[in-house]
Amino acid sequence: MPDILVDGGWRSARNGGRREIRCPADGSLVGEVDEGTAEDAADAIESAWRAFHEGPWPTVPASERGDLLARVADLLERDRAEVARAESLDTGKRLVESGYDVDDVVGVFRYYARVAAEDAGRVVDTGRPDVVSRIVHEPVGVCGLITPWNYPLLQTSWKVAPALAAGNTLVLKPSELTPHSAILLMRLLAEAGLPDGVANLVLGAGPQVGAPLSEDPRVDLVSFTGGLETGKRIMAAAAGTVKRVALELGGKNPNIVFADAHVESAVDFALTAVFLHSGQVCSAGARLMVEDSLHDDFVDEVVRRAEQIRLGGPFDDKAETGPLISAAHLKKVEDYVADAVEQGAWLRCGGARPDDPDLTSGFYYLPTVFDRCDTSMGVVHEESFGPVLTVERFRTEDEAVAIANDSVLGLAGAVWTENAGKAQRVAGRLRMGTVWINDYHPYVPQAEWGGYKQSGIGRELGRAGLDEYRETKHIWHNVRPAPQRWFGG
């Protein structure tokens, strides 16, 4: 069956292009999908443009749009096993984790189903008795949505659900490495009753089918999640038509542990923070900062436990984390590790591919810890997006804040201390979009997500995540018009 969706019809790429998708855990063939071109992207944009300007969706009552999103959530629950399996085969992620991701996706659709009809606007008191003044919200228009491979459907849901809730039409371009869950989602949107042309899907490489979404004048908004350099290219391309731009980019996120922390929990979460999904998480706590007096024992324990982490494929019940996404990404992580050694960091564990013969056909890399790092080293500032932890030492609260903020990125971070006052003071001074206190990684649809500084522009999730997809219009109605005679006459 063809995989490109334009105006409600599934079709092949115009030039007949195809791409093999292989599981990163063992290289096995997952499937072959259509590989679109700029022409396919243009067709999808045209379809979304007509659906917006001629179709019913933007003016469907918001409560009905919410009802549709709730039906999508029901269908995702029905198909949880199928969707999770597709996600695991594409990403190599453990099946249990893909299942949790689908649960999170369901939660996102349910949240935007609820809030779709709330906050319809407001009446403004202008101080003029003969004027009725209203603020109303309207959809932005055609949205180009570009998503990454690490949490394919979850990151997609953060865009698709609020975009539809607000009455927009869209073209989705998932990562070329992980297209299958996007295909399944499009089928479920149709089954839930979404009109033809409202949601369109193009598959293919970024420069070919992603770039048109940031350049085409018919696209009103481009929302991108991915790497910093790609984000810069998209922002520059979108400037030509002054599109609304939303960017969710990377992070090198500090996980700050004070000596008065609950140490057992802090060690446990230091591992989860960085090694979950083998570090392929934008908010990974890949920068561990430990107070001087606790540092040595703490890092010894982190290393001891990191060495015990079991690697394996999606269906290996004993595995605790999986492979990297591709050979190219594995090479990037290896280069990052070589740089860390070159820059003088002390390799405490890992730093190599595993020698287990069962893992040689996948893109695995051992959990890696570097101690004796500091902000003079490039690796402390760069995102490896792999299972690599850099450890820094600090002495005071002020020093911890200064070191943590010494970064061009500002996505997320954590503070570990039993002193509530210190926790709140530090959280308030960190220049990051999310700060966890005595926890790491949780996110919920009700709470905004996004980055400070070069970690992004705009917010996903929460009310702000809906506002990204809404225009705000002021309607001024003079109910008793009379000549003003500004110009005499």
Ligand X SMILES: C[N+](C)(C)CC=O
Ligand Y SMILES: NC(=O)c1ccc[n+]([C@@H]2O[C@H](COP(=O)([O-])OP(=O)(O)OC[C@H]3O[C@@H](n4cnc5c(N)ncnc54)[C@H](O)[C@@H]3O)[C@@H](O)[C@H]2O)c1
Pick the binder of ligand Y from 34, 46, 216, 248 (CB under 6 A). 248
In what side-by-side order are the strands of the sheet with 121-124?
Answer: 121-124, 131-139, 470-478
Q: Is the dihedral of CA 59, 64, 70, 75 positive or negative?
A: negative
Q: Are 36 and 179 in contact (CB under 8 A)?
A: no
Q: Which 413-472 positions form the footprint of ligand X (CB under 6 A)?
A: 443
Rounded least distance, CB 309 to ligand X, Å: 19
Rounded least distance, CB 166 to ligand Y, Å: 20
Pick the binder of ligand Y from 411, 414, 423, 435 (CB under 6 A). 411
Joined tokens for residue 360: 């040689």
Q: What track of x and - describes contact with ligand Y for positions 206 through 245 (by CB under 6 A)?
A: xx--xx--x----------xxx--x--xx-----------
Q: Is 283 in the site for ligand X (CB under 6 A)?
A: yes
**Number of residues that this document lists for the chain:** 489
20 as an active site residue: the answer is no
Binding range to ligand X, per CB under 6 A, among 165-173, 280-288, 376-384, 424-432: 280-288
Residue closer to ligand X (CB basis): 283 or 368: 283
Contacts of 358 (CB under 8 A, 6+ apart): 312
Residue closer to ligand X (CB basis): 154 or 202: 154
Matching residue, tokens 């690599």: 388
Q: Is the dihedral of CA 452, 155, 170, 74 positive or negative?
A: negative
Q: Are 349 and 340 in contact (CB under 8 A)?
A: no
Angstrom distance (rounded) from CA 242 to CA 230: 18
Q: Is 367 in the site for ligand Y (CB under 6 A)?
A: no
Secondary structure element (H or E) that encloses residue 275, with its range: helix 263-275
Q: Is 392 in the site for ligand Y (CB under 6 A)?
A: no
Rounded least distance, CB 163 to ligand X, Å: 17
Rounded least distance, CB 233 to ligand Y, Å: 5
Angstrom distance (rounded) from CA 95 to CA 108: 20
Residue closer to ligand Y (CB basis): 172 or 299: 172
Binding range to ligand X, per CB under 6 A, among 281-289, 292-300, 422-430, 478-486: 281-289
Q: Which 267-286 positions form the footprint of ligand Y (CB under 6 A)?
A: 282
Pick the binder of ligand X from 249, 281, 290, 324 (CB under 6 A). 281
**What's the chain's Rg over C-alpha atoms?**
24
* Nearest Cα to Cα of residue 165 among 24, 62, 302: 62
Rounded least distance, CB 431 to ligand X, Å: 18
Pick the catalytic residue from 35, 97, 248, 382: 248
Angstrom distance (rounded) from CA 254 to CA 422: 16
Q: Is 154 in the site for ligand X (CB under 6 A)?
A: yes
Contacts of 360 (CB under 8 A, 6+ apart): none
Q: Is 171 in the site for ligand X (CB under 6 A)?
A: no
Residue closer to ligand X (CB basis): 290 or 388: 388
234 binds, among ligand Y, ligand X, none (CB under 5 to 8 A by kind): ligand Y
Total residues in contact with ligand Y, by rule CB under 6 A? 30
In the bound state, the residue with its beta carbon closest to ligand Y is 206
- The DSSP-derived string for 7-70 is TTEEE--TT--EEEEE-TTT--EEEEEE---HHHHHHHHHHHHHHHHHSSGGGS-HHHHHHHHH
Q: Are 164 and 198 in contact (CB under 8 A)?
A: yes
Pick the binder of ligand X from 177, 261, 282, 306 (CB under 6 A). 282
Binding range to ligand X, per CB under 6 A, among 71-79, 197-205, 208-216, 276-284: 276-284
- The DSSP-derived string for 152-184 is HHHHHHHHHHHHHHTT-EEEEE--TT--HHHHH
Strands 368-371 and 346-349: antiparallel
Q: Which 439-468 positions form the footprint of ligand Y (CB under 6 A)?
A: 451, 456
154 binds, among ligand X, ligand Y, none (CB under 5 to 8 A by kind): ligand X
Angstrom distance (rounded) from CA 402 to CA 395: 11
207 binds, among ligand X, ligand Y, none (CB under 5 to 8 A by kind): ligand Y
Residue closer to ligand X (CB basis): 60 or 447: 447
Angstrom distance (rounded) from CA 330 to CA 323: 9
Residue closer to ligand Y (CB basis): 177 or 423: 177
Q: Which residues are catalytic?
A: 248
Q: Which stretches of the chain bind ligand Y, using CB under 6 A?
A: 146-150, 155, 173, 175-176, 205-207, 210-211, 214, 225-227, 230, 233-234, 248-250, 282, 383, 385, 411, 451, 456
Binding footprint of ligand X on the chain (CB under 6 A): 150-151, 154, 281-283, 443
